[in-house]
Copies of this chain bind each other. A is one copy, B any other.
Amino acid sequence: MIKTPINAGNNGEGLNSGALGHQLMVEYYGCSPERLNKVDHIRSAMLEAAKATGATVVGEVFHEFNPHGISGVVVIAESHLAIHTWPEYGYAAVDLFTCGDEIDPYKGFDLLRVELSADRFEVREFFRGRLEPLTGLLPHKPAVMNI
């Protein structure tokens, strides 16, 4: 894994200093059902998305479901990109998890938006693995936050 914590937060306030990972959780709606159901297209788009972020691909798995739907993951030296498609709903769930200052997950997000022909989307952004001591965590019960 890339060892350097992310120093350049995108909010300009240093809020993200010390985070090891940067994750975009993306919902793409109104996508082309045909594109969402072609494993060759999804695989190619995901590998291109990884390349667009600046990442190095180290492994991949794609699976085609019967009667429809595709799941796929590209493992990169800087974490992973994952996709699950529901062609019947024109919907795809995507995660772009990257590490290091040199990788820009938004470039992968942009590429996939075009490749899936999404007409609506939602992006949630997270910084993961903060090295500062955590407070408020319970040792025996998960801290759950519903979003």
Give the interface of A toward B (CB within 8 A).
1, 3, 11, 15, 20-21, 23, 25-27, 29, 58-63, 65, 69, 71-73, 75, 77, 79-80, 82, 84-86, 88-89, 91, 93, 95, 97, 99, 106, 109, 119-129, 131, 134, 137, 139, 142-147
15 pairs, CB–CB < 8 Å, chain A vs chain B: A11-B146, A20-B86, A21-B93, A27-B128, A59-B61, A61-B75, A73-B75, A82-B95, A89-B131, A91-B129, A95-B95, A119-B139, A122-B142, A123-B144, A125-B144
Interfacial chain B residues near A137, Cβ < 8 Å: 120-122
Q: Tell whether A61 pairs with B60 under 8 Å between CB atoms, given A73-B75, A86-B20.
A: yes
Question: In the assembled complex, how far is the CB of residue A30 from the closest CB belonging to chain B, in whole angstroms?
Answer: 10
Question: In the assembled complex, how far is the CB of residue A74 from the closest CB belonging to chain B, in whole angstroms?
Answer: 9
Closest to A70 in B: B1
Instruction: Choose one: B11, B15, B123, B128; the contact of A142 (CB below 8 Å).
Output: B123
Contact yes or no, A20 B73, CB < 8 A: no
Chain A interface mostly: strand
Q: How far is the CA of A27 from the CA of B132 in the complex (A)?
A: 13
Question: In the assembled complex, how far is the CB of residue A70 from the closest CB belonging to chain B, in whole angstroms?
Answer: 8
Instruction: Choose one: B58, B80, B129, B143; the contact of A123 (CB below 8 Å).
Output: B143
Interfacial chain B residues near A63, Cβ < 8 Å: 58-59, 75
